[in-house]
Amino acid sequence: MAFLAMDDSFIAGLPKAELHMHLEGSFEPEQMFAVARRNKADIPFASAEDVRRAYRFSNLQDFLDIYYRSADVLRVEEDFYDLALAYLKRAADDNVRHAEIFFDPQTHTARGVAFATVADGILHALKDGEARFAITSKLILCFLRHLSEAEAFATLKQAEPYFDRIAGVGLDSSELGHPPSKFARVFAAARSHGLKLVAHAGEEGPASYVWEALDLLHVDRIDHGNRSLDDPRLVARLVAGQMTLTVCPLSNLKLCVVKDLKDHPLKRMLDLGLRATVNSDDPAYFGGHVNANFAAVAQALALGKSDLATLAKNSFLGSFLGDAEKARHLAAVEAYAAAPGTNRIRREP
Ligand code: ADE
Ligand code: ZN
């Protein structure tokens, strides 16, 4: 049946922030081969097409296994610089004006790569990316939740010289069996240093993990948060606090969090008054960057121009930018959405 969908050109021109993207998840197979060649590192695949064929996941752990293995070819500062610069260039093409980028230092330090090698390479690229592509950014250090509290504390210690250049800490990796409570003391320490706090919760894990992220970790944002909709009292709490949810539709589809994008909760989230945003999570693995995520949900959920503008505004409201920068970006979204010629619709077969 035919239905109306926003023209993708509206999405392409919409100014937006990306708040949930793992740098290691932007590692495209072609770049992986180039870096592996440079470092004389082995890849257990014959070609980039071969790598892409392996990207069939039935849950989060399936994906994480291959994601950590691919990161093994990243060895020197230049590798992290190239990875971050490539992401910023690609994000700027999607009219991302500001990106808050996750990195997983433990994936690298566990292999003998120094924390400074990783952080210096990324930070150098963020500086160059702003000058070259007019995209601002902030860096968020994620703790791997399948590792111990002690290992997270050791990583926080390694990050200390970078506290002036790292906006915050997050929590990612295997969610089930690793509740936020495991990291309450590490997050309290990070908070005492003035760092912002985010955590993956309610992706595969239950609504109780979202409660824990709020009440025990005191997070500033929830990454994913899909399972919050199982608990009306939690929804009320998230709406009342205008807590940002960094939602990742194509990730949810690829990791079987939803069976079909038509079942995706994003539209329900918006209708409930939740501050939802759209993000790519791991764009090299899940079939697209942020505009592809916008386009896919716009089509599957018949989102209109005002929903899309709300999502873009939410991305700036939920960012860790200062008030003046937020106001400038919000005004740009409003001006764009109100401009004639951004209102086209097309009929989908
Ligand atoms: N690391 C990279 N992507 C992730 C995701 N979607 N969930 C948890 N950890 C991740
Ligand atoms: Zn994620």
- For the residues 179-183, what does the mean pLDDT come to? 98
| Domain count within the chain | 1
pLDDT tops 90 at residue 148: yes
User: Tens digit of pLDDT for each residue in 42-89?
Assistant: 998 999 999 999 999 999 999 999 999 999 999 999 999 999 999 999
Pairwise CA distance, residues 215 & 330, whole Å: 30
The residue to mutate among 60, 83, 145, 258, having the most atoms of ligand 1 within 8 angstroms of its beta carbon, is: 60
Residue 88 belongs to some domain of the structure: yes
Residue 226 belongs to some domain of the structure: yes
> Angle between the 305-317 and 323-338 helix axes, to the nearest 10 degrees?
170
Candidate list 28, 175, 203, 212, residue with the active-site label: 203
Residue 34 belongs to some domain of the structure: no
Q: What is the mean pLDDT of the chain?
A: 95
144: domain range? 3-25+76-340
Residue 232 belongs to some domain of the structure: yes
Indicate if ligand 1 lies below 6 Å from the C-beta of 171. no
pLDDT tops 60 at residue 154: yes
- C-alpha 71 to ligand 1 mean position (Å): 14
Beta bridge partners of 169: 141, 197
Q: What is the reported pLDDT for 5?
A: 46
Residue 39 belongs to some domain of the structure: no
Residue 347 belongs to some domain of the structure: no
> Which amino acid, one-letter code, is at 346?
R
CATH number of the CATH domain containing 202: 3.20.20.140
Q: What is the reported pLDDT for 162?
A: 98
Pairwise CA distance, residues 151 & 290, whole Å: 32
Contact status, residue 345 vs residue 10, Cβ threshold 8 Å: no
pLDDT tops 70 at residue 205: yes
Residue 49 belongs to some domain of the structure: no
Q: What is the reported pLDDT for 7?
A: 67
User: Tens digit of pLDDT for each residue in 16-50?
Assistant: 999 999 999 999 999 999 999 999 999 989 999 99
Contact status, residue 130 vs residue 84, Cβ threshold 8 Å: no
Q: What is the reported pLDDT for 44?
A: 87
Pairwise CA distance, residues 348 & 6, whole Å: 10
Question: Could you confirm whether 203 is annotated as catalytic?
Answer: yes
Residue 190 belongs to some domain of the structure: yes
User: Tens digit of pLDDT for each residue in 261-317?
Assistant: 999 999 999 999 999 999 999 999 999 999 999 999 999 999 999 999 999 999 999
- C-alpha 336 to ligand 1 mean position (Å): 32
Pairwise CA distance, residues 248 & 279, whole Å: 5
